Structure 1
Amino acid sequence: MIRKVNVVTAVDAKAKFKLSLLCTYKYIFYYDIILIIDKMEGKKLAKLTPMMKQYMEIKEKHKDSILFFRLGDFYEMFFDDALTASKELEIALTARNCGQDEKAPMCGVPYHSSKSYIAKLVEKGYKVAICEQVEDPSEAKGIVKRDVVRIVTPGTITDSEILNEKENNYLCSVFIDDDGLGVSYVDISTGDMYTTEQKDNLSNNINTLIDELAKINPTEIIANNFLYEREELKQQIVNRFNVVLNHYYDWAFDLSTARKAIENQLSVISLDGFGLEDSNNSIKAAGALIEYLNETQKQSLEHLNTIVPYYIDRYMVLDINTRRNLELTETLRDKTKKGSLLWVLDKTSTAMGSRMLKKWIEEPLVDSDEIKNRLDPIESLVDNVVIMDDIKELLKEVYDIERLVGKISYGNCNGRDLVSLKNSISILPELKKLLIQEDLNKLSVLGSNMDTLEDIFKLIDDSIVDDPPVTLKEGGIIKGEYNKDLYELREASTNGKQWISELQQRERERTGVKSLKVGYNKVFGYYIELTKTNIDLAPDNYIRKQTLSNSERFITPELKEMESKILGAEEKMTTLEYQLFLEIRDEIKANIKRIQKTSKIVSTVDVLSSLATVAFKNNYIRPSINTEGIMNIENGRHPVVEIMLEDGQFVPNDTLLDNKDNRISIITGPNMAGKSTYMRQVALITLMAQIGSFIPADNANIPVVDRIFTRVGASDNLAQGQSTFMVEMSEVANILNNGTKNSLIILDEIGRGTSTYDGLSIAWSVVEYIANKTKIGAKTLFATHYHELTELEGKIDGVNNYRICVKEEGEDIIFLRKIAKGGTDRSYGIEVARLAGVPREVINRANNILKDLEDRDINKDNVKEINVNEELKESSDVKEVAFTSYNIEDNNIDKDSLQLDLFAVKEKELIDKIKSIDMMKVTPLDAINILYDLVSKTKEI
């Protein structure tokens, strides 16, 4: 552990810095290191050793990365990289002679365990450049050539030991300017690549970008200079998504350069076949992404062989707040999968199926035909439970084919990876047979399109042993029968070893020494060993090779001849096996597209099977899908809460919304009674239906919605200096500016972040605006404690009141969790406070104050009679009636006078006394007495 580091940095060739560090292991020791740093610009690396000069030349090309420089069995780091890595990795910092007068700081990690160290650095936001030997040391003239073979960044990790197998690791590229947006993202561990674009004003493009990033959830973003220079936007992205954002060369986003990069990667002469012919912003983003991959991965990526363009309006738009509030893939509080919608629906058998399901949840469909194309096969599986279970059992044998293909493409797969691929492929014929049965409808189409890859299975089965070693260059991977030359070499080696074994027995009989043994080590090869007490019995043809403390080792001409044959055969075998393995890998690589196509079908079957399993076990039903805006849910249930509760405890509820008389539901009731659960339930049921899932209800007709908006809960955004109310209003503004008649809006307690009448007036106005068909006219659930809003029913068409039923038993209340028609005029706040454990003394005092306020009704006189918003009156949706409410838009009313003041009671008493005076019955003397009394009372206030 590094305890203390004091550094004085230098900027020119003769300047120095002194490093003092204290390291503790079994003992304490100090290093005082003086390092001379030569400027790289235009100067020779004088006096450096050849190895260090090579290091500096390579480092100069990768200044933004920590250079892992391969020396033997270690990756070494020097100079500033060593200082950084030793601190971040908590490893010892030492020193090495570099040819200068003073030593260079150095630290290193073992090659065989480097993955965890690389992952730790990448997780902290560093790039790691992997520098390897690129020529055989035995053939090198002078120092062995080295070069960077790969740069590891957060978005380019491929190691399955580091990645979460059930989540994609996306690298994202963003092109944005005043007129357009292009977004492209890729998971290089699977080869999945997508791109989209939008042509709009900058403000809308930024909003769309934030929504897309919320869906993609990348670990790394590269962007053009236009975005990177906007510090506020850049920080917003980094803070919101906890992502590494790097500026990338603007030339990479040039249209012609980007187009050429894509064409080269996909081996095509035109992008028309990919639907990108007129998508310039998509091309710019995707082309820069490929340039970045070429720069960092430094090899062709055969598994990245297609780009899927998509249109943003093909999927339901879910902004970052809605994704968070609905807890689609992780919970709000703990950021864990358990308790999310994904947790409920994910009963997949494969890692790639789990990733696809997560993508479905993140991207609900808006095309009713596409939705039905998912519902049909789920219904077939629910109706054929035996087949569904058989499919799930088969899929349990399937490994992560997508990432296995990625490893094959990268060239870093081993024998065990190929065996995993073979075992996965082995179930395909039986799976295909299950799927193509007539009563499975749409699943039969998937089965018919499935390539069972039997030739790939045969290739691996014929060539790779069932339990291959991890390493590739030590032999034991290829079956002897696969190759004639390998078979003969293996026979020679086996026969030679048999001869060695028989030699030991012959020599024991010949010498009469039962303890004689024939051994082998890498230094001396094969030898015959006799103990010191039996040395005199050594035959004349024994040649002394080595003397040990208790024994002597000998060789014979015959033994050395056989050794040459055995070792020669083993060396040739190892070399031949490695060559054969590369040939097998390359043959599989040539079939990557076929394997990827099959893996997508298997993943789709897995997701459909998972959704069918959940539907069957949880008693979900198939929803009817309509485009008329009708939402009619009978006994709907919250999919997550229902599972968290014991059987039978969840109370189902109905929902009726449409584009006519039932557009807005005003929901009143006490806190903790279930308003938020109910509203989230409706949103989740809608979303589940649009991903093609069965839903928790007895019956349901669900409309296709273009967006779901949620404004639920309150939280400060301290990082951006925004208060609770500012955050709330920003989210409301987003809803009002982007909602349409086909949206579903969930609003919970709008306006509570400010004073009572400010909040009421805002909530009132929001309801009016949403209700107006010429403005939005969206289906809306609006929970509120402002009971005055219940007066909107009957005043504005489409607004209806609902309440959470509560049963009162003395001072106790029981939440029935049932939604009923009609409003409520009580909030039960004090009762809820008592249930929450607020001290009895506070509860009693609160009841006294409440009674006093209700009796006095101190704000009653500030109420004025007003009409519905004049603009709304012109709409046919608003009835021409006046009603009593609060109107703080009236400039004649002092807003301060409307604020609740518990200390105004005496003033109110004085005003009430004045109002009670009947001037027609007061005599002059009485008037003088009354005036005197009033003046006296005013002095007491």
Structure 2
Amino acid sequence: MPQKTKGTPMMEQYLDMKKEYPDAFLLYRVGDFYEMFYDDAVKGSQILELTLTSRNKKADESIPMCGVPHHAIQSYIDILVDKGYKVAICDQLENPKEAVGMVKRGITRIVTPGTIMDESANQATENNYITGISYAKNRFGLSYADLSTGEVKVTSINNMTDLINELQNLNTKETVVLEGFPQKYLDPMKRIGILVSTIEELDDNFTYDFSKVVEELQVSSVKTLISYLIQTQMRSLDHLKAAETYQTTAYLRMDHNAQSNLELFKNIRTNKKSGTLLWLLDSTQTAMGGRLLKQWLSRPLLDEKNLKSRQHIVQVFLDNYFQRSSFQDYLTKVYDLERLSGRVAYGTVNGRDLIQLKTSLEQVPKIKEILLDISDDELSAYVNNIDECQDVYELIDKAIVDDAPISITGGGLIKDGYNPQLDQYNDATKNGKKWIAELQAQEQEVTGINNLKIGYNKVFGYYIEVTRSNVDKVPEGRYERKQTLTNAERYITPELKEKETLILEAQEKSQVLEYHLFDEVRKTIKEQISRLQSLANILSRLDVLQSFAVVSETYHYVKPTFVSKHELKVVNGRHPVVEKVLSNNSYIPNDVTFDNSTDVLLITGPNMSGKSTYMRQLALTVIMAQMGCFVPAESAKLPVFDHIFTRIGAADDLISGDSTFMVEMREANDALKNATDNSLIIFDEIGRGTATYDGMALAQAIIEYIDKNVHAMTMFSTHYHELTDLEGQLSGVKNVHVDASEENGTLVFLHKVLPGPADKSYGIHVAKLAGLPDQVLTRADFILSNLEAEGTEKIQPVKDDEPMAVSEPKLEPEVKAPTKSDEEQLSLFPEDDPEVLKAKEVAEELQKQDLMNVTPIDAINLLYKWKQQLN
């Protein structure tokens, strides 16, 4: 990068500021534009698609530059920050007209990916978390905050894997550390796209409530985070709530992979909300309710008392349809109280924001009235804690006009009657403008010039304008010529200039006074921030619970019951998202049962038959239940799970360089080491990423380990049909299969889960459905038939000059009556061999049995007897 030499005083000022913020784009206010220079201009012009020009073109050093209009600055800031950059805003700190010499400028704010305050409409239900991390003795303190809502929370984490997982679950775009933080821990954060910001030292000169934080590692983490926010935001952060501690183990744990595999927040195929559990559950009416729903979905509860409390309120809303409907109507008029409060405290609130706050508060008494009309003690306890903030409503109603402009410096904000002095200024302005209108009519009559008009601009003030064709009609000596235009002449009179002075003075003074009065209103409301935040908290909770009621009523969900035993019974359960997408009542419900003796449900069946859907639907049912929502089933009896582990789908990890199979083994290892007997494990096709025998051996060993050591409820789907023999060998393994049938050689998926193993995998049938060429299907069928007949003997490939069969594949080996030569060829042992004789005796005895009338105990005794004979 070339050395930048100093030039004009303005460029010296710019370079001095750039030295302080070398890692940020510096947007430097010059008149009506924010300019970028040097490398910022070159790179910024590419990112923002701006025209790159230059300054001092005739000088020895040409300075690259580009700029954006001041009124459109926010959109350009958003683009830069969204791409992971920091932006330093340099504003003019004095009126250029009044400045002596160089205009005084200064950095007023640093905008970073974690400190965005102005969210777009489609981000209203998204939290933007920035995190702070401290480190000591191989442990981490992790705090996070949403600057726009004031939320602050902190926890302790014992290893790097859990730290990265928590950062991913929070979807943080920026994390802050103290200088000297170990580099080996920063690299993994950068690899997953997190901007790492560093501060040199902690700021201890701020007042903050640490009363709920006791561990020093956590205190250090919060101080790191707030120190950075103070440095970058350069204004009051009074809206930040007291930091609350939390433990990740206090909630149903799901790592980032599990949340992704189960499509809780993003559809794997589209990367959008549509088609996810969040999409299904979101019938919230407010932005703050939408954000809280996401938080509940990310952290379902373990505490059964709180779960039942949520369930109760959902049932109350279900039982009181009309009151719930009225409540929803009022909620739709409640704006984002959390972020409005944040803007008040932050000093960026405008007149329209305050009208939104007033409109929201206007609904609160109505909400209280309608909810108290429901006779329920638990709901009443919620509602009685609602603070209507009536004083805030009355202040805004008295002070701010209903159609307030966005600008807070141009006037037109304050109502008539709020301040006597302002009323005088406004009256002078109105009367002056009325006088000017009367003067225009009078001059038109005196001069006979019908198109004569009185106009105004900032340079010349008020003037009388006459078109050139009518100039000769102006009475001599009546006006004083002020400006000549191509098509008109402009004049003034002493009387007009005198009235102009009165009008402009009144306008200027009224604007200054209005801003002062607005600032007083803002400061008064700022003192009530904590009350507004408490109100937002209660309304958002009620919003989520009514959303659960709406969804439960719409899709006929039932209230689950919780049991303390190692058992689970879901009758006619459904996958909630798939059911909604189908929307034609065609979804096939299925039972899921774990009794005290069952640890593993071993699921077999064809590809595409619904094994993955069956497993996912149980996981989603568990998550919904532990959020407090009702569930998609005829009835559901569930334990309270502590952790959900998943191994679903085929995906490699490009960042770490791990293959699909390595990812599979890592996720399996995580489950085997960390699951408890209160966990739920979802394993889909473990072992398919390696050779058949390796995969089968690993799959069996994993099942055995779960059965003997872990005892977590496990759904294990597989195509290794040999594993189904484990049901008779391991007490905790139970076979179920997804049914399918053949009709005229065509595979029909029945999507019904039945006891026992599947009879075969139907792989070639699925290949046929996919449209593979008939030659491939026929050849595959031939190879399969031989493999099944000959065991593991290798099938010779087709020779180069030998055509593949082109006839319709049978998809079933042809069964022929064996000939004598066939029997001789297949007889591996002589007829008089003792083992053969034993087998014949057993076979003859088996043929004599009336199998339809043998009791289960008799069958077991016969099997035992025959086994002894054969041994």
Q: Same fold (TM over 0.5)?
A: yes
- Structure 2: distance between partners of 1:512 and 1:786: 102
1:703/1:411 CA distance change after superposition, 3 Å: same
1:904/1:77 CA distance change after superposition, 3 Å: closer
- Structure 1: distance between partners of 2:384 and 2:751: 48
Match of 1:793 among 708, 724, 727: 727
Partner of 1:841: 775
Query: Shift of residue 94 of structure 1?
Result: 1.9
Partner of 2:785: 851
Q: Tell me which amino acid in the other structure corresponds to 2:194.
A: V
Q: Confirm or deny that 1:698 pairs with 2:634.
A: yes
Q: Deviations for 1:665-710, whole angstroms, at most 9, x for unmatched residues?
A: 1111111111110000001000100011110001111110000011
Match of 1:568 among 505, 509, 527: 505
- Structure 1: distance between partners of 2:703 and 2:768: 32
* 8 Å Cα contact 2:449/2:473 also seen in 1: no
* 8 Å Cα contact 2:178/2:224 also seen in 1: no
Quick check: 295-304 or 537-546, which moved more? Answer: 537-546
Partner of 1:146: 105
5+ residue gaps, structure 2, are 799-820, 834-871
Partner of 1:777: 711
Quick check: 609-618 or 399-408, which moved more? Answer: 399-408
- Structure 1: distance between partners of 2:788 and 2:473: 118
- Structure 2: distance between partners of 1:512 and 1:752: 96
Q: Tell me which amino acid in the other structure corresponds to 2:231.
A: E
Match of 1:439 among 375, 378, 385: 375
Match of 1:113 among 51, 72, 79: 72
- Structure 1: distance between partners of 2:482 and 2:354: 44
The CA RMSD measured in Å over matched residues stands at 2.4
Partner of 2:197: 246
Written as runs of structure 1 = structure 2, the 5 A alignment for 1:653-672 is: 653-658=590-595, 660-672=596-608
* 8 Å Cα contact 1:49/1:99 also seen in 2: no
1:853/1:794 CA distance change after superposition, 3 Å: closer
Query: Shift of residue 177 of structure 1?
Result: 4.3
- Structure 2: distance between partners of 1:721 and 1:513: 84
Query: Shift of residue 917 of structure 1?
Result: 8.2
Partner of 1:862: none
Q: Tell me which amino acid in the other structure corresponds to 1:543.
A: E
SS of the residue aligned with 1:426?
A: helix
SS of the residue aligned with 2:443?
A: helix
| Identity within the alignment, % | 45
SS of the residue aligned with 1:459?
A: helix
1:371/1:99 CA distance change after superposition, 3 Å: farther
What TM-score, normalized by structure 1, do the two folds share? Answer: 0.82
Q: Tell me which amino acid in the other structure corresponds to 1:850.
A: L
Match of 1:229 among 183, 187, 204: 183
Partner of 1:767: 703
- Structure 1: distance between partners of 2:374 and 2:62: 76
Q: Confirm or deny that 1:217 pairs with 2:171.
A: yes
SS of the residue aligned with 1:300?
A: coil
Written as runs of structure 1 = structure 2, the 5 A alignment for 1:598-677 is: 598-658=535-595, 660-677=596-613
Q: Confirm or deny that 1:411 pairs with 2:411.
A: no
Query: Shift of residue 541 of structure 1?
Result: 4.9
Q: Deviations for 1:84-107, whole angstroms, at most 9, x for unmatched residues?
A: 212222222222239974232222
Query: Shift of residue 738 of structure 1?
Result: 0.6
1:847/1:513 CA distance change after superposition, 3 Å: closer
Q: Tell me which amino acid in the other structure corresponds to 1:401.
A: L
SS of the residue aligned with 1:598?
A: helix
Q: Tell me which amino acid in the other structure corresponds to 2:11.
A: M
Query: Shift of residue 507 of structure 1?
Result: 3.4
- Structure 2: distance between partners of 1:842 and 1:582: 78
Query: Shift of residue 916 of structure 1?
Result: 4.5
Query: Shift of residue 440 of structure 1?
Result: 4.0
Query: Shift of residue 393 of structure 1?
Result: 1.1
Query: Shift of residue 813 of structure 1?
Result: 2.4
- Structure 2: distance between partners of 1:477 and 1:66: 34
Q: Tell me which amino acid in the other structure corresponds to 1:214.
A: Q
Q: Confirm or deny that 1:819 pairs with 2:753.
A: yes
Quick check: 151-160 or 678-687, which moved more? Answer: 151-160
SS of the residue aligned with 1:720?
A: coil
1:576/1:641 CA distance change after superposition, 3 Å: same
SS of the residue aligned with 1:562?
A: helix
Written as runs of structure 1 = structure 2, the 5 A alignment for 1:353-502 is: 353-502=289-438
1:57/1:238 CA distance change after superposition, 3 Å: closer
Q: Deviations for 1:471-502, whole angstroms, at most 9, x for unmatched residues?
A: 12211111121111011111111112222222
Query: Shift of residue 762 of structure 1?
Result: 0.8
Written as runs of structure 1 = structure 2, the 5 A alignment for 1:268-287 is: 268=209, 271=210, 273-274=211-212, 276-277=213-214, 279-287=215-223
* 8 Å Cα contact 1:624/1:702 also seen in 2: yes
* 8 Å Cα contact 1:368/1:626 also seen in 2: no
* 8 Å Cα contact 1:437/1:444 also seen in 2: no
* 8 Å Cα contact 1:376/1:441 also seen in 2: no
Q: Confirm or deny that 1:323 pairs with 2:259.
A: yes
1:920/1:316 CA distance change after superposition, 3 Å: closer
Q: Tell me which amino acid in the other structure corresponds to 2:168.
A: A
Q: Tell me which amino acid in the other structure corresponds to 1:849.
A: I
1:246/1:507 CA distance change after superposition, 3 Å: closer
* 8 Å Cα contact 2:568/2:637 also seen in 1: yes
- Structure 2: distance between partners of 1:617 and 1:903: 59
Q: Deviations for 1:138-186, whole angstroms, at most 9, x for unmatched residues?
A: 4433212211111111111111338711111111122234431211111
Q: Confirm or deny that 1:75 pairs with 2:29.
A: no
Q: Tell me which amino acid in the other structure corresponds to 2:183.
A: E
Q: Tell me which amino acid in the other structure corresponds to 2:67.
A: G
Partner of 2:461: 525
Q: Deviations for 1:554-581, whole angstroms, at most 9, x for unmatched residues?
A: 3333222222211111111111111111
SS of the residue aligned with 1:185?
A: strand
Query: Shift of residue 123 of structure 1?
Result: 2.2
Query: Shift of residue 918 of structure 1?
Result: 6.6
Partner of 2:653: 717
* 8 Å Cα contact 2:764/2:781 also seen in 1: yes
- Structure 2: distance between partners of 1:226 and 1:796: 53
Partner of 1:54: 13
Query: Shift of residue 798 of structure 1?
Result: 2.0
Q: Deviations for 1:448-474, whole angstroms, at most 9, x for unmatched residues?
A: 111111111111111111112221221
Query: Shift of residue 518 of structure 1?
Result: 3.0
Written as runs of structure 1 = structure 2, the 5 A alignment for 1:524-543 is: 524-531=460-467, 533=470, 535=472, 537-538=474-475, 540-543=477-480
- Structure 2: distance between partners of 1:714 and 1:317: 22
1:472/1:541 CA distance change after superposition, 3 Å: same
- Structure 2: distance between partners of 1:553 and 1:813: 90
Partner of 2:860: none
* 8 Å Cα contact 1:511/1:539 also seen in 2: no
Quick check: 625-634 or 725-734, which moved more? Answer: 625-634
Match of 2:115 among 147, 156, 161: 156
* 8 Å Cα contact 2:320/2:374 also seen in 1: no
What TM-score, normalized by structure 2, do the two folds share? Answer: 0.89
Query: Shift of residue 62 of structure 1?
Result: 0.9
5+ residue gaps, structure 1, are 1-8, 12-36, 39-44, 859-899, 922-941
Q: Tell me which amino acid in the other structure corresponds to 1:113.
A: A
Query: Shift of residue 126 of structure 1?
Result: 1.7
- Structure 2: distance between partners of 1:111 and 1:503: 37
* 8 Å Cα contact 2:557/2:632 also seen in 1: yes
Q: Deviations for 1:900-930, whole angstroms, at most 9, x for unmatched residues?
A: 633499xxx9xx9899587999xxxxxxxxx
SS of the residue aligned with 1:744?
A: strand
Partner of 1:804: 738
1:549/1:806 CA distance change after superposition, 3 Å: closer
